[in-house]
Structure formats: C-alpha cells, structure tokens
Structure 1
C-alpha cells in the first residue's frame, strides 16, 4: 500500500467517526430546539417536517441537513471497509453500508409525509443491519471471533427493539422516536467501534488485512 493509499484509508476511518458525530449531534440539537417534541409521542422525522407542530426552521435544518451531511460523509468510511477487508464477506459489507447511508441521505432529502421518506427510512435500518451481519461473518472468517460475536449481539438487539415495538401496536402508535433512537445508537456504536479498529486497533495500517487478489 502506498503512503497516499494509507492516508486515504485513515481519512475514511475518521469520516466514519465524523458521520456519527454529525448525525447524532444534529438529532440531539433538533430535539432540544423543538418547542414540543416528546419521545413518547413523536417520531424523529417529525423534527424535519416543515409545518409539523414540533418542527421549526431550526429543527428542520438540523435534522434534515444533519442526516444528509452525515450520510454523505459516511460514504467515505465504506472505502476503508472495502480496501481494508480481510476476505470477500468483509469487502461486500461495504455495499449495504453505502445503501444504508444513502437511505439516511434520503430521509433528510424527503421529509416526513413525502412518499419516498418511508422507503428511505426502512432502507437505512434494514441495510445497516445487513451491513453489520455481513461484516460479522467476515470477521469470524478472519479469526476475529470476539468482534464477530459483539457485532451479532448488536444486530440481535437492533432486531429485538423493533420486534418489541411492532408487537406493541405497530408503526402507527406514538413514540416511534424510541426505537428509531435505539437503532441509530446501535448502528453508530458499530461504526465507531469499527472505525477505531481500523484507526487504532488490530486493523490499523491494514497491510495484512487487505483482500488478496
């Protein structure tokens, strides 16, 4: 690997960290700026819907803009996963990661109540789980059993949260922000954990981790 390639890999790792910080700071800021947002009554997307009672120009800018910016920045992280993969499964995980991040961008571009908002949100959550599960398979094949087990636990918890929510009344009941937040935090935790692995952990430098072609 050339020095420029190594620099770009590290840049991609830090882009993953930046994406998490941007999106979560934007969501937190939007909830605090809202005059009436309640976790038990609303969806997070209410914050980005112009004209919604809980939304203001500030919340829509923070929420929609934060998701778009965070998703676009996060795409650079997929490059690191692609080039620093140890096997085909790890490499392929970069593809659903891109899909998940584009879904995040779509949630911001198409505010709540627009026809494409729902598909974008579903894409974000489902593709994020596929990303983690596929990367866990690759980690296990590469001998990183602890990482694989931890990632599977995150996926199982993510699925469990949505199963619990849907079994209690479906998507139409108030408080959708609760499972949305848990899903976002679980995915964010995985991105930070994986970025650290590539920046400071066992994959730092990545010379021996790259897929042999």
Structure 2
C-alpha cells in the first residue's frame, strides 16, 4: 500500500503540474515562481491552489503511512501554500518552512539523505541568488522530496 500511494503522489504531482502549466501559457520557468500560477490576480489561480492542496492531502496520507511526523507537518504547510495565494502573508513562510522541514526530515532519516538534502538546499539557494525565477529551484527541491518519499515507500 505504501508503494502505491507514493507512486500516486508522484503521478499526481507530474500530471497536475503539467495541467496547471497548460492553463497558464504566460508562465515561465525562468521568470516565475510556481505560486505565480496561484496568484489572486490570476483568473485560473484556483486551479494551482486546489492542485497544491490536493498534493498536500496526499502528502499527509503518505507521511502517516511512512510514520514521518516532520514530513506530515511539511505537508500541512504545503496545504497552507494552496490556501493562501502568494499575496497573503502566510504563503511565503509556509512555502519556505515546507521545504526546510522536508529537508530536515530527510536529514534525520539517514546520512545519505542528509547529504542529498544539504546539496539540494544549497543548489536552490544558489539558483535563487541568480534571480532566474523561483520555479526551477522549487522544482529541484520538489524532485528531491518526491525522490525521498518514493524511496521510503519502496524501502519499507
């Protein structure tokens, strides 16, 4: 069951993101944050926000199955990212904490995942400093987190 749910989460992430991007042709990986698609100013923002809320709900289910409490808190924060558009004050801290807590959970799991989390976080910070848009660093972080979740689902 754990394997199947982790696979569902990854498939939901990929297909959902592709669908949301297809509905926002103005979106650019090098000029935007993913959350720009969920902006209160975007008439189709609700699509991105519901997608993120759904991803967070699946993430909570996965974290419960994997018995990863810090990851569960991270997924609750992901839901808050979807509830609060980027213009709302809770959005940015929720997004940042979601990544940080996910990486901390990875680091607490094993030395290998600690190295992966540290390298991923460092790459994200470097890319953000280049000001090429947040979407690429966000996706790199998401890929690491989803890889970790898949690993846990297949490991146990």
Normalising by the residue count of structure 2, what TM-score does the alignment of the two structures yield? 0.89
Q: Could you say what the CA RMSD is over the residues aligned between the two structures, in angstroms?
A: 1.8
Selected match of 1:113 from 87, 94, 103: 87
Normalising by the residue count of structure 1, what TM-score does the alignment of the two structures yield? 0.67
Matches within 5 A, 1:1-213: 10=1, 12-52=2-42, 56-57=43-44, 60-82=45-67, 94-136=68-110, 148-149=111-112, 151-168=113-130, 173-198=131-156
Over 6 Å off, 4+ runs: none
Larger Rg belongs to: 1
Conservation of the 8 A alpha-carbon contact between 2:124 and 2:140: no
Q: 1: CA distance between counterparts of 2:37 and 2:28?
A: 11
Q: 2: CA distance between counterparts of 1:24 and 1:103?
A: 20
The structure with the largest helix share of the pair is: 2
Aligned residues: 156
Gaps of 5+ in 2: none
Gaps of 5+ in 1: 1-9, 83-93, 137-147, 199-213
How far apart are residue 14 of structure 1 and its match?
Answer: 2.7
1:126-173 C-alpha deviation (Å, 9 max, x unpaired): 01101111111xxxxxxxxxxx42x234212212212312443xxxx4
Conservation of the 8 A alpha-carbon contact between 1:13 and 1:195: yes
